[in-house]
Amino acid sequence: MITAGSLAPTTKPGPSGPDWAMRLDAWWRAANYLSVGQIYLLDNPLLREPLQSHHVKPRLLGHWGTVPGLTLTYAHLSRIIMARKQKMLLVAGPGHGAAGLNAAAWLEGTYSEFYPEVGQDLDGMRRLFRQFSFPGGVPSHASAHLPGSIHEGGELGYCLAHATGAALDNPDLVVACVVGDGEAETGPLATSWHATAFLDPVRDGAVLPILHLNGYKIANPTLLSRMPRHELNSLLIGHGWRPVEVTGTDPQEIHEAYADALSLCLNGIFEIQGSARAGRVHGGRRWPMIVLRTPKGWTGPDVVDGKQVQGSWRSHQVPLAAVREDAHHLALLEQWLRSYRPEELFEADGSPVPLVRDHRPLGTLRLSANPVAHGHTQRDLRLPEPFAHRVELTEPGKVVAESTRLLGEYLREALRLNRDQHNLLLFAPDEHASNRLDAVFAETGRRWQLATEPGDDHLAHDGRVFEVLSEHLCQGWLEGYLLTGRHGLLSSYEAFAHVVDSMVGQHAKWLHTAAQVPWRRPVPSLNYLLTSHVWRQDHNGASHQDPGFVDHVLNKRPEVVRVYFPPDANCLLAVADHCLRSRGLINVIVSGKQPALQYLDSRRAAAHCAQGLGVWRWASTDLDGDTDVVLACAGDVPTQETLAAVEVLREFVPDLRVRVVNVVDLARLAQPEVHPHGLEDTAYREIFTEDKPVIFTYHGYPWLIHRLTYRRPGHEHLHVHGFHENGTTTTPFDMCVLNEIDRFHLALAALERVPRVAGRLGHIRQQLLDRLAEHQEHIRRTGEDLPEIRDWTWNG
The reply to whether 331 sits near a second copy by the rule CB under 8 A is no
Separation of alpha carbons 583 and 527, rounded Å: 10
Between 320 and 345, whose beta carbon lies closer to a second copy? 320
Q: What is the DSSP string of 160-211?
A: HHHHHHHHTT-TT-EEEEEEETTGGGSHHHHHHGGGGGT--TTTS-EEEEEE
The reply to whether 784 sits near a second copy by the rule CB under 8 A is yes
Residues 535-554 within binding reach of a second copy (CB under 8 A): 538-544, 546, 548, 551-552
| Interface region with a second copy, contact rule CB under 8 A, candidates 4-12, 65-73, 585-593, 774-782 | 774-782
Separation of alpha carbons 234 and 231, rounded Å: 5
Q: Are 614 and 571 in contact (CB under 8 A)?
A: no
Between 458 and 521, whose beta carbon lies closer to a second copy? 458
Smallest distance, Å, CB 525 to a second copy? 18
CA angle 708, 713, 715 (to 5 degrees): 55
Q: Reading across the β-sheet that carries 561-564, which strands appear in turn?
A: 459-460, 446-447, 465-467, 424-428, 487-493, 526-531, 586-590, 561-564
Smallest distance, Å, CB 445 to a second copy? 11
Separation of alpha carbons 596 and 294, rounded Å: 60
Residues 95-114 within binding reach of a second copy (CB under 8 A): 95-96
- Burial level of 3, CB count in 10 A (0-12/13-18/19+)? middle
Residues 5-64 within binding reach of a second copy (CB under 8 A): 42, 57-59, 61
Q: Are 636 and 568 in contact (CB under 8 A)?
A: yes
The reply to whether 467 sits near a second copy by the rule CB under 8 A is yes
The reply to whether 671 sits near a second copy by the rule CB under 8 A is no
Residue closest to 662 by CA, chosen among 714, 708, 620: 620
Separation of alpha carbons 720 and 733, rounded Å: 19
Among 121, 155, 253, 462, binds a second copy (CB under 8 A): 155
Between 227 and 348, whose beta carbon lies closer to a second copy? 227
Between 154 and 371, whose beta carbon lies closer to a second copy? 154
The number of C-alpha atoms within 13 Å of 73 and in the hemisphere containing its C-beta is: 35
Smallest distance, Å, CB 706 to a second copy? 5
Among 725, 770, 774, 788, binds a second copy (CB under 8 A): 725
Smallest distance, Å, CB 79 to a second copy? 31
Residues 6+ apart with CB under 8 A from 485: 372, 375, 376, 377, 378, 379, 423, 521, 523, 524
Q: Are 382 and 415 in contact (CB under 8 A)?
A: no
Separation of alpha carbons 76 and 359, rounded Å: 10
Beta strands per DSSP E along 5-105 = 88-92
Among 71, 120, 133, 662, binds a second copy (CB under 8 A): 133
Between 123 and 655, whose beta carbon lies closer to a second copy? 123
Among 117, 219, 518, 673, binds a second copy (CB under 8 A): 219
What are the b/e assignments for 632-649, b being 16+ CB within 10 Å?
bbbbbbbbbbbbbbbbbb
Among 16, 32, 66, 233, binds a second copy (CB under 8 A): 233
Separation of alpha carbons 210 and 92, rounded Å: 10
The helix, strand and coil proportions of the chain, stated in percent and rounded to the nearest 5, come to 45, 15, 40
Q: Is 428 helix (H, G, I), strand (E, B) or coil?
A: strand
The reply to whether 430 sits near a second copy by the rule CB under 8 A is yes
Between 236 and 574, whose beta carbon lies closer to a second copy? 236
Smallest distance, Å, CB 183 to a second copy? 7
Q: Are 128 and 137 in contact (CB under 8 A)?
A: no
Between 543 and 795, whose beta carbon lies closer to a second copy? 543
The reply to whether 371 sits near a second copy by the rule CB under 8 A is no
Smallest distance, Å, CB 454 to a second copy? 8
Smallest distance, Å, CB 1 to a second copy? 12
DSSP, res 667: G
Smallest distance, Å, CB 643 to a second copy? 24
List own/partner pairs for 687-692 with CB under 8 A and 24 or more apart.
687/613, 687/614, 687/615, 687/661, 688/630, 688/632, 688/661, 688/712, 688/714, 688/718, 689/627, 689/630, 689/659, 689/714, 689/717, 690/714, 690/717, 691/717, 692/627, 692/628, 692/629, 692/630, 692/659, 692/717
The number of residues that bind a second copy (CB under 8 A) is 125
Q: How far is CA 385 from the centre of its chain?
A: 28
Smallest distance, Å, CB 656 to a second copy? 26
The reply to whether 220 sits near a second copy by the rule CB under 8 A is yes
| Interface region with a second copy, contact rule CB under 8 A, candidates 371-379, 384-392, 490-498, 619-627 | 490-498
| Interface region with a second copy, contact rule CB under 8 A, candidates 67-75, 257-265, 388-396, 729-737 | 729-737
Between 422 and 557, whose beta carbon lies closer to a second copy? 557
Separation of alpha carbons 39 and 34, rounded Å: 9
Q: Which residues pair with 588 in a beta bridge?
A: 528, 563
Q: Which residues pair with 586 in a beta bridge?
A: 526, 561
The reply to whether 143 sits near a second copy by the rule CB under 8 A is yes
From residue 80, give the alpha-carbon distance in Å to each of 103, 175, 556: 19, 13, 41
Among 364, 434, 582, 671, binds a second copy (CB under 8 A): 434
The reply to whether 620 sits near a second copy by the rule CB under 8 A is no
Residue 612's region, left for phi above 0, alpha for psi from -120 to 50, else beta, is left
The reply to whether 610 sits near a second copy by the rule CB under 8 A is no
Separation of alpha carbons 504 and 82, rounded Å: 36
The reply to whether 630 sits near a second copy by the rule CB under 8 A is no
Between 220 and 267, whose beta carbon lies closer to a second copy? 220
Residue closest to 51 by CA, chosen among 437, 335, 456: 335
Smallest distance, Å, CB 456 to a second copy? 6
Site string for a second copy, 166-205 (x = CB under 8 A): ----------------xx-xxxxxxxxxx--x--------
Residues 259-288 within binding reach of a second copy (CB under 8 A): 284
Separation of alpha carbons 7 and 5, rounded Å: 5
| Interface region with a second copy, contact rule CB under 8 A, candidates 140-148, 623-631, 744-752, 759-767 | 140-148
| Interface region with a second copy, contact rule CB under 8 A, candidates 76-84, 225-233, 347-355, 574-582 | 225-233
Residue closest to 209 by CA, chosen among 242, 168, 179: 179
Between 362 and 542, whose beta carbon lies closer to a second copy? 542
Between 87 and 447, whose beta carbon lies closer to a second copy? 447
Smallest distance, Å, CB 94 to a second copy? 12
The reply to whether 557 sits near a second copy by the rule CB under 8 A is yes
Separation of alpha carbons 479 and 178, rounded Å: 17
Smallest distance, Å, CB 313 to a second copy? 7
Between 226 and 763, whose beta carbon lies closer to a second copy? 226
Q: Are 178 and 73 in contact (CB under 8 A)?
A: yes
The reply to whether 780 sits near a second copy by the rule CB under 8 A is yes
Among 221, 354, 595, 676, binds a second copy (CB under 8 A): 221
| Interface region with a second copy, contact rule CB under 8 A, candidates 372-380, 393-401, 504-512, 752-760 | 504-512
Between 540 and 582, whose beta carbon lies closer to a second copy? 540
The reply to whether 299 sits near a second copy by the rule CB under 8 A is no
The reply to whether 455 sits near a second copy by the rule CB under 8 A is yes
Between 24 and 207, whose beta carbon lies closer to a second copy? 207
